[in-house]
Amino acid sequence: MKVLGIETSCDETGIAIYDTENGLLAHQLYSQVKLHADYGGVVPELASRDHVRKVLPLIKAALAEAELTQKDIDAIAYTCGPGLVGALLVGSCIGRSLAFAWDVPAIGVHHMEGHLLAPMLEVNQPEFPFVALLVSGGHTQLVDVKGIGEYELLGESVDDAAGEAFDKTAKLMGLDYPGGPRLAKLAEGGRSDMFKFPRPMTDRPGLDFSFSGLKTFTANTLAASPDDDQTRADIARAFEDAVVDTLAIKCKRALEQTGRKRLVVAGGVSANKHLRQQLEQLLSKLGGHVFYPRTEFCTDNGAMIALAGAFRLQAGQQTGLAIKTFPRWPLTELAPHAE
């Protein structure tokens, strides 16, 4: 089964073709970073309009890359939530309409399920069950995964997601959008022993997260410190250390609570080098294994949507003609794969 995947949940237009027998055949991605840079963040209306311009040309490019025509496509998967409602509507309308025109089934995919399953695009795939850390600009969640659609939420952020905290803190430090990767780059030159930031909500039981207070702590530290390049790098390092340590501490708790030995880490922040190093060390000590998607599939992309859609379609699930989007959509509301 060859599945065309369409991702338009936020500020990246992703198109891919996944073959259940031969794997990923094509992958096209357009980022709107330059479009939103002047505003310091994503402007929903601009994002939606840009998806309208880019989806069809990228579908044509993906078909050409895979050396296929529309007649070779067996199904279409598209992101229908969560995300920006206008952006979701673009991908959902185009995906559902193409499926109708091409007389193939369609499936609306949960964006975070796409992230959760993205490591299965790799040769070294995780087996069920496992604990998943979904860590991005919009979500920070720990999920116990027994199988596709069998999800138990263990903990989540009560305020800012980790990626959101990275971006907002970077903005406080005067870094350009998108700030998260720039802050991580700045932190590479920082000294780890110059500032000590708190590890929020690690001094109490539970698996929830809170990162908004770190922004305030960073702002106060910046105001009380010399304004030179090395100090700024040291502060960036202290912030990154605090976020990474907090994520690692909660992952360790989740693994111990569930008895799992496998950890999946996905979402934009999963590309952070420091986070990967620390989690690899943690799982090595625990006698377990950690799995990631390759860097290009950490951020939003069509490949993960095509893959997640293929799993659902193989289980006999599909979406009707009504076009529905879900800007807010708890992962735990998804039906099990076998249902």
Instruction: Check whether 115 is labelled as a binding-site residue.
Output: yes
Peptide bond into 330 cis (omega under 30): no
Helix, strand, coil share (%) of the chain residues, nearest 5: 45, 20, 35
Instruction: Check whether 137 is labelled as a binding-site residue.
Output: yes
Q: Using the Cα atoms of residue 9, residue 11, residue 16 and residue 18 in order, give the sign of their dihedral.
A: negative
Question: Given strand 2-7, what is the order of strands in its sheet?
Answer: 23-31, 12-19, 2-7, 75-81, 106-110
Instruction: Check whether 180 is labelled as a binding-site residue.
Output: yes
Which pair of structure tokens corresponds to residue 170? 């970077």
Partners of 147 in the β-ladder: 150
Partners of 151 in the β-ladder: 145
Residue type, 260: R
Of the candidates 130, 117, 148, which has an alpha carbon nearest to the alpha carbon of residue 286?
130
Burial class (CB in 10 A: 0-12, 13-18, 19+), 75: buried
Which pair of structure tokens corresponds to residue 41? 């963040």
d(CA 162, CA 134): 10
Instruction: Check whether 272 is labelled as a binding-site residue.
Output: yes
d(CA 143, CA 163): 17
Instruction: Check whether 167 is labelled as a binding-site residue.
Output: yes
Instruction: Check whether 111 is labelled as a binding-site residue.
Output: yes
Which pair of structure tokens corresponds to residue 206? 């539970």
Concatenating the DSSP letter of every residue in 183-238 gives HHHHHTTS-TTS-----TT-SSSSS-B--HHHHHHHHHHHHTS--SHHHHHHHHHH
The kind and range of the H/E element at 263 are strand 262-266
Residues at the binding site are 111, 115, 134-138, 167, 180, 272, 300
Binding-site members for substrate are: 134-138, 167, 180, 272
Annotated binding-site residue numbers for Fe cation? 111, 115, 300
